[in-house]
Amino acid sequence: MIKLQNIHKSYDMGSNKLHVLKGIDLNVGQGEMVSIMGSSGSGKSTLLNIIGLLDNHDEGDFYLDGMLIRDMNETKAARLRNQFIGFVFQSFNLISFKNAVENVALPLYYQGVPRRKRNKTAMEYLEKVGLTDWAEHLPSELSGGQKQRLAIARAMISQPKIILADEPTGALDSVTSMEVMELFKEINQSGITILIVTHENDIAHLTQRIIKLHDGLINSDHKNGHHQPLNVQAIAV
């Protein structure tokens, strides 16, 4: 589903260059639930943005569902995002002046689905995350956990192949975090690939595979519970 080969990414910080990703090789198959860990500045969010087509990589090959992604223009990237990828963010990123059902329905608006139909579909997804009673409420009237469930419903509605979650539990208490992770697991069981960026160990351990990033390189990649040093050379650097 996701195939990365020697991905490099650097940012211009005025006069000097910040080399964030220094050659990432990664394969994620369909239906996997993977967590990406690493300290801040290790490049985990940048990696997620590149996979999510929110950012371009400088070097290397990136295949998404068998398609080579290179020099995407904005319009094409937007279409692919809409079709393939659902996003869940730490700060939820709901549109504050739209109510729950309108927020969930928004990706379908960009697919050209008629209003009535997309609101009906949105209600189905709200039911799946247990927010039917809150359909007419604005995000500001919801709790953190409810907001994140709303964001997950929004990520789901376009029936993506991949869900990318950037610190989805970062703003939630532990009980709510567990509820959200349960939701992700259910979604994963329906065959959707899920990538979660987190720095919390107990969250990472709820996934099947943990990838640890350090200083722009993959430090370790192991099935949950089994430590598997992947690339000896990479560690040596």
Partner 1 sequence: MFDLDKWQEIFNTIEKNKLRTFLTGFSVAWGIFMLIILQGSGIGLQNGVENEFRSSATNTIWIWSGQTSKAYAGMQPGRYIQMTNEDHDNISKTVKGIDKMSSRYQIWNASTISYNNEFGSFSIRTVHPDYLYIEKMQITDGRFINKMDIDEYRKSVVISTKVKDALFKDEDPMGKYIQVNTVPFKVVGIFTDEDGRDENMQVIYLPLSTAQRVYGAGNRINTLAVTVGDASVEESKAIQEDIRSRLAARHKYDPTDDRAMFLWNSVEEFQKFKSLFASIRLFIWIIGIGTIIAGVVGVSNIMMIVVKERTKEIGIRKALGATPGSVIGLILQEAILITGFAGYIGLVLGVGLLELISKQIDTPFFRQPEVNINVALGATLLLIVAGALAGFFPARKAAAIKPIVALRDE
> Which residues of this chain interact with partner 1, rule CB under 8 A?
49, 52, 54-55, 74-75, 78-79, 81-83, 87, 89-91, 93-95, 97-98, 102, 106-107, 109-112, 114-115, 154, 158
Nearer to partner 1, 29 or 97 (CB): 97
Closest to partner 1 by CB, 111 vs 228, is: 111
Min dist CB 222 to partner 1, Å, is 28
Classified as helix, coil or strand, 210 is strand
- The answer to whether 128 and 153 have CB atoms below 8 angstroms apart is yes
From CA 46, how far away is CA 38, in angstroms rounded? 12
Indicate the residue among 22 and 79 with the shorter CB distance to partner 1: 79
Q: Are 209 and 33 in contact (CB under 8 A)?
A: yes
Min CB(115)–partner 1 separation in Å: 6
| Dist. CA 76–CA 129, nearest whole Å | 30
Tokens (6 digits) for 11: 């940012």
Distance (Å) of CA 108 to CA 91, 121, 158, 159, 209: 22, 9, 6, 10, 31
Q: Which is nearer to partner 1, 32 or 102 (CB)?
A: 102
Closest distance to partner 1 from the beta carbon of 99 (Å): 9
Q: Distance between CA 198 and CA 200 in Å, rounded?
A: 6
User: Considering the complex, what minimum distance in angstroms separates the CB of residue 229 from partner 1?
Assistant: 31
Nearer to partner 1, 55 or 215 (CB): 55
Shortest distance, position 164 Cβ to partner 1, whole Å: 10
